């Protein structure tokens, strides 16, 4: 991990190390951390946008959100890395409605 700071929630640190070990990831750079409320579990990572040289993701901890830049080389692996991140951090509904269009009066 690189960046101005290296302080991360333990859940987020483990998941960031997982990302660093993906094929095609050159480095992970931590950005600004904001203290705020969110709906994601600690350690969750979510794709934010494609940028030159890689992707930006949000890392969610128990205290807030951290902006993370993932440097990808070769850039042709971008979609593959995004897919791996999406699969690992897909939110699972705890109680899916089998018939979402039904009216429950």
Which ranges constitute the DSSP H helices of the chain? 10-20, 78-88
pLDDT digits (tens, 9 = 90+) for 30-51: 998 888 888 888 889 999 999 9
Residue 3 pLDDT greater than 60, yes or no: no
**Is residue 35 a contact partner of residue 85, using CB atoms and an 8 Å limit?**
no
Domain range summary for the chain, segments of one domain joined by +: 2-88
For residues 34 and 76, give the distance between their C-alpha atoms in angstroms, rounded to a whole number. Answer: 31
Q: Which of 37, 40, 72, 79 is nearest to 59 (CA)?
A: 40
Distance CA 43, CA 88 (A): 11
pTM for the full predicted model: 0.78
């Amino acid at each position: 991990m690189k960046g101005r700071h290296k302080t991360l929630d333990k859940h987020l640190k483990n998941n960031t190390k997982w990302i660093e070990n993906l094929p095609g990831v050159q480095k992970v750079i931590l950005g600004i951390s904001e203290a705020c409320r969110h709906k994601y579990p600690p350690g969750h990572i979510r794709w934010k946008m494609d940028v030159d040289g890689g992707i930006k993701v949000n890392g969610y901890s128990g205290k807030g959100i951290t902006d993370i830049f993932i440097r990808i080389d070769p850039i042709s692996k971008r979609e593959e890395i995004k897919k791996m991140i999406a699969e690992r951090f897909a939110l699972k509904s705890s109680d899916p409605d089998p018939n979402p269009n039904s009216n429950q009066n």
